[in-house]
Amino acid sequence: MDARLDHLVGCAWFWVWALVGVGAAISAVSLGPLVMAPVALAALSLSASEKARPSAFGLAAGAGALCLPVAALQRGGGNLDARPWLLAGLVLACTGIAGHALRRD
């Protein structure tokens, strides 16, 4: 397979994993078991795929992508501190993207 096509397929799988990461973060923060079962099934089916497994760093990026808007919503003041959400979002998103970029297939 052509190297460019391999790259595009890897990126597509990364974003599929990122969607699963968003779902996992939503289930951890608010909706719990309602979302966790479908997210767990999606993660299990993706991890069974040889082509999708190397892009699993998308899980972290997806969870971080959910934390960043929460931080933006909480920065308005009051009793809520946006810094933990911002830090978690940046660390998770950067770790996921860097991990995917540096992975060895």
Report the domain count for the chain: 1
**In degrees to the nearest 10, what's the CA dihedral of 82, 85, 89, 91?**
100
Query: What domain range is 25 assigned to?
Result: 3-102
What angle is formed at CA 20 by the lines to CA 71 and CA 25, rounded to 5 degrees?
35
* pTM given for the model: 0.79
User: In which band, very low, low, confident or very high, does the pLDDT at 24 lie, cut at 50, 70 and 90?
Assistant: confident
Q: What is the pLDDT of residues 56-94, one digit of tens each?
A: 888 889 989 999 988 888 877 677 788 889 999 999 999
Cα separation values, 7 from 56, 93, 98, 104, Å: 15, 19, 15, 12
